Amino acid sequence: MPNALEQSIIDLAIRARLASRKTASLPSNVKNQVLLELAASLGDPAVQQSLLKANQIDVEAGRGRNLSSAMLDRLTLNPARIQGMIESLEEVAGLPDPAGIVNRMWTRPNGLRVGKKTIPLGVIGIVYEARPNVTVDAFSLCFKAGNATILKGGSEALNSNRCLVGIITGALQSHGVGDACQLVDSTDREAVRILLRQEDHVDLIIPRGGEGLIRFVAENSRIPVIKHYKGVCHIYVAEDADLQMALNIVENAKVSRPGVCNALETLLVNREIAPRFLPEFARLMKSRGVELRADPESSAYLPVAAAATEDDYYAEFLDLILAVRVVPDMDAAIEHIEKYGSSHTEAIVTNSYRLAQDFLDRVNSSVVLVNASTRFSDGHQLGLGAEIGISTTRLHAYGPMGLESLVTEKFIVYGDGQVRI
């Protein structure tokens, strides 16, 4: 017999499954209308006031529990952040519907017409930390693709999430799909474990947060999970790189936002260019406050660098720290990336046609760039319109995931009486 918590989660998963059959056949214009109505609700001063009040309860409780200032910042809503949600809803409403598309159709010798048509995945569970803006973002993308959503946000944001899901449900109800957004309304971690066992009712789990959360989800889930643990991103400066371009790209990749997963963590420099590149690079990094960890060969040019340990090459510093290594050639660079990398994002700086193509062919990380910053490894930047997450698992989706990653394809077959011989 399931206990009360378990039963409540089974019930909400079943409600989501039933709702997903309705959302799957909503026309695009109805889905867009729901998103725009939700945006309008969030723009209503009375709604905003109640949302900010609910959020304040969370923030004050968080202060009482000594949350870090970074966590408190992510937890806090304000009119500007609500405006951000509204704009993102309007943006998602404006994106093309990824469901219902037949990209190709072919005819078999017996006259059967066979095609593949995109359909929603069904029910998507999002497990995330105390960031109330994710609530609206994740729901809007899942819903736009025709899915029902089950949200399990960080306990610290429960009041905010209750309020937000109430607003979302209001917009859904007026179109007969009130159950399409379910909140796991519990601060018990066991609730997540129970959710992760509902493989009959939930088609996909997307964890969003730190590596600890993601590992917890991956290890406890019986439902397919799309995830990435970390981004140990590399740039390889080839022997013929344009020095100024390499400096610009490395600076941007390391310094512009060191705390994100597409920031640069290890720089690989070709031996031939090292004497010209590294001294200038050292000056630039010093001026930007970047601490260097260097292998013996590169440290000859980097007087202030500490010695890099084996662990440094595996590390996602998420900080103004950069590991550096000189390599004899691209083979060695790729070997390093395969050994220490996380399959997230790698770039080469080169003017050689051959090196550029080889790097693009041989490096099988989820995003591979030539002469551009690793910071472009992002759904918006790559032109997906919006991003639900990043996958370094090769199944289903690899790299930044937009709306297209929230659908699958069924086969549709038009016959005129064919039987199999």
By CB under 8 A, the residues from 122 to 151 that bind a second copy are 122
114 lies in the site for a second copy, by CB under 8 A: yes
**Residue from 106, 189, 310, 354 that binds a second copy (CB under 8 A)?**
106
Q: Under a CB-based contact definition with an 8 Å cutoff, are residues 346 and 368 in contact?
A: yes
**Residue from 42, 148, 150, 204 that binds a second copy (CB under 8 A)?**
204
Which residue has tokens 């202060």?
Answer: 63
Contact range with a second copy by CB under 8 A, out of 43-51, 118-126, 289-297, 318-326: 118-126
Q: What pairing do the DSSP bridges indicate for beta strands 148-152 and 113-120? A: unpaired
**Residue from 369, 386, 388, 403 that binds a second copy (CB under 8 A)?**
369
413 lies in the site for a second copy, by CB under 8 A: yes
259 lies in the site for a second copy, by CB under 8 A: no
| Cα distance between residue 161 and residue 359, in whole Å | 44
| Cα distance between residue 118 and residue 412, in whole Å | 10
312 lies in the site for a second copy, by CB under 8 A: no
* Cβ neighbours of 94 (radius 10 Å): 11
* Comparison of 47 and 245: residue with beta carbon closer to a second copy: 245
186 lies in the site for a second copy, by CB under 8 A: no
372 lies in the site for a second copy, by CB under 8 A: yes
**Residue from 28, 33, 186, 408 that binds a second copy (CB under 8 A)?**
408
Contact range with a second copy by CB under 8 A, out of 150-158, 165-173, 302-310, 411-419: 411-419
Least distance to a second copy, CB of residue 66, Å: 34
Dmax over CA atoms of the chain, in Å, equals 79
| Cα distance between residue 265 and residue 375, in whole Å | 12
237 lies in the site for a second copy, by CB under 8 A: no
* Comparison of 53 and 108: residue with beta carbon closer to a second copy: 108
Contact range with a second copy by CB under 8 A, out of 49-57, 168-176, 222-230, 324-332: 222-230
160 lies in the site for a second copy, by CB under 8 A: no
4 lies in the site for a second copy, by CB under 8 A: no
**Residue from 57, 304, 307, 412 that binds a second copy (CB under 8 A)?**
412
Q: What pairing do the DSSP bridges indicate for beta strands 264-270 and 233-237? A: parallel
Phi, psi of 160 (to 5 degrees): -60, -45
Nearest residue to 277 via CA among 254, 306, 300, 304: 300
Amino acid at residue number 88: S
* Comparison of 75 and 225: residue with beta carbon closer to a second copy: 225
252 lies in the site for a second copy, by CB under 8 A: yes
CA distances from 344 to 217, 347, 363 (A): 19, 11, 11
| Cα distance between residue 58 and residue 62, in whole Å | 6
Q: What pairing do the DSSP bridges indicate for beta strands 181-183 and 148-152? A: parallel
Least distance to a second copy, CB of residue 75, Å: 26
Characterize 372-397 residue by residue with b for buried, 16 or more Cβ atoms within 10 angstroms of its Cβ, and e for exposed. bbbbbbbbeeeebbbbbbbbbbeeeb
Number of residues that bind a second copy (CB under 8 A): 70
DSSP letters for 345-360: EEEEE-S-HHHHHHHH
284 lies in the site for a second copy, by CB under 8 A: no
Least distance to a second copy, CB of residue 347, Å: 8
Least distance to a second copy, CB of residue 15, Å: 15
Q: Which residues contact 121 (CB under 8 A, 6 or more apart)?
A: 145, 147, 203, 204, 406, 407, 408
* Comparison of 210 and 415: residue with beta carbon closer to a second copy: 415
Residues of this chain that interact with a second copy (CB under 8 A) are 21, 24-25, 100, 106, 108, 112, 114, 117, 119-122, 203-204, 218-219, 222, 224, 226, 242, 245, 248-249, 251-253, 256, 338, 356, 360-362, 364-373, 375-377, 381-383, 393-400, 408-420
